[in-house]
Amino acid sequence: MTADDVSLSTLLLSFLALILASAYFSSSETGMMSLNRYRMNHLRRSNHPGAVRASRLLEKPDKLIGVILIGNNFVNFLAASIATSIAIILLGEPAPIATAVVLTLIVLIFAEVTPKTIAALYPEKIAYPSSLLLGFLLKVLYPVVWVVNTVSNSLVRLLGFHPQGDANDQQLNQEELRTVVYESESRLPKKHQGMLLNILDLEKTQVDEIMVPRNEVQGLDIEDDVEDMVEQIASAQHTRLPVFKKDINSIIGILHMRSAGRLIKIENLNKASIVQETIEPYFIPETTPLHTQLFNFQSKKLRMAVVVDEFGAVKGIVTLEDILEEIVGEFTTDLADSSKDIHAQKDGSYLIDGSTSIRDINRILSWDLDSESANTLNGLLMEILQSIPDSVVGIKLDGYYAEILQVKDNVLRTVKMWEADRQEALPFADPE
């Protein structure tokens, strides 16, 4: 059939239809590949018909791309043939260069850039409706798609790649999950965002970083007089107390204040009665990650654990509340004001107890102190000084200054700290 046999209007309408078909295939490809897989899976579980169809097609991306490219190349080839016929009718000769330039511009603008831009911006609005026709075309053209994919996959393997890709590439690692949470800032309240980020941090935080150190543990020495023990129970500020024999390393049980309340009412209270009310202590290694310990507390229905080092010596106590505070934050409105170890000064500095953990300082003051081996401020400064100072010493840290004010029993008791944007005349020691 020649151009003379077909009217110009028919050719123009056919050409327009083919450009629209090309735009459909181009937008479908971009839309399908731009879909948010996690949102699509959520909609699929909600039985969204478009998401269900798109999910099935994306399970075999090689076949999906195959049917799209076959359809797109076919309609583009027909469009080129019709464009040549239109040029002959209008110009009286083929004019291949002019036809190629005009056709390229038309295809580029109307069948490629514009539809793909729209699909990239609104993938769900394009991909889900398109999946209906794509699924039908895949069934109709399956023999052709199979041949094309067989040859294509052979070439992919020849180049050293797997046709189905790497399944691990579709999974988010921790840092990628963190990025997703950050990017959800406009949809998530700041507090909820912080909780999600804290949950992600549980995996890389160990119990020895948040535990109450052994020198701060309040407990009952079973060797003390019963009267002294009763007085300790009555003035206890915690719901559970470790009971030990002479030394904290010899913990024999955990006493709950609910049981202790009954003990106080007994007239002839003896040590055996106190020990009988205790529960067996739960020991855990200091290297246990917080997320693991959280599940352990849940499975064992316990709320307190005794942290021990590799030699079995007690290092401290960790509770379920300590881990929950790592997620939701301290159970108070003003952390800096409520902390017994950190005291804000009028000049903008802070007086900090040397036993305060680095994690608590960072969380309460929104600082970024860092140490590879030390868990407390005392350990961090000792790590830098490599000696115990006998006078006031100032230390430069990355972005912070520290002034050691009090040393007692070979431990840094009181340290004055502030951020680097404030400076005072002190003999600072450079850690480097």
Report in angstroms the alpha-carbon separations of 99 from 4, 246, 278, 360.
Answer: 18, 98, 93, 72
DSSP state of 168: G
Residues 210 and 196 in one domain: no
The answer to whether residues 191 and 240 belong to one domain is no
Contact 257, 279 (CB under 8 A): no
Q: What does the pLDDT look like over 310-331, one tens digit per residue?
A: 998 999 999 999 899 888 876 5
Q: Are residues 267 and 214 in the same domain?
A: yes
Q: Are residues 346 and 323 in the same domain?
A: no
Identify the domain boundary among 297, 328, 359.
328
Residue 247 lies in a domain: yes
Is residue 107 in some structural domain? Answer: yes
Residues 105 and 214 in one domain: no
Q: What is the CATH number of the domain that holds 402?
A: 3.30.465.10
Q: Does residue 315 fall inside a structural domain?
A: yes
Provide the token pair at 249: 């390393």
Task: Domain of residue 395: give its range.
Answer: 335-429
The verdict on residue 125 lying in a domain is yes
| CA atoms of 409 and 413, how far apart (whole Å) | 9
Asked whether residue 171 is assigned to any structural domain, the reply reads no
Give the pLDDT score at 159: 85
Query: Do residues 23 and 110 make contact, with C-beta atoms less than 8 angstroms apart?
Result: yes
Residue 92 backbone class (left: φ over 0; alpha: ψ -120 to 50; beta: rest): left
- 154 and 181, same domain (yes or no): no
Are 131 and 13 contained in the same domain? yes
Single pTM value for the model: 0.62
Q: 170 in a domain, yes or no? A: no
Q: Is residue 415 part of a domain?
A: yes
DSSP string, 35-61: S-HHHHHHHHHTT-HHHHHHHHHHTSH
- Tell me the backbone φ, ψ of residue 212, rounded to 5 degrees: -80, 120
pLDDT above 70 for 336? no
pLDDT of residue 57 exceeding 70: yes
Q: Indicate whether 338 pLDDT > 80.
A: no
CA-CA distance, 312 to 281, in Å (whole number)? 13
356 and 416 part of one domain: yes
Question: Is 393 a member of any domain?
Answer: yes
For residue 274, give the nearest of 252, 248, 255 by alpha carbon. Answer: 255
Query: Number of structural domains, the chain?
Result: 4
Mean pLDDT value of segment 227-251: 87
Q: Which two tokens stand for residue 75?
A: 């309609």
Q: Are residues 241 and 184 in the same domain?
A: no
Same-domain check for residues 78 and 189: no
In the predicted model, is pLDDT for residue 125 greater than 90?
yes
Same domain, 66 and 41: yes
As a whole number of angstroms, the distance between CA 432 and CA 428 comes to 12
Residue with token string 């464009």: 83
Asked whether the beta carbons of 48 and 62 are under 8 A apart, the reply is no
Q: Are 277 and 230 in contact (CB under 8 A)?
A: no
Same domain, 339 and 316: no
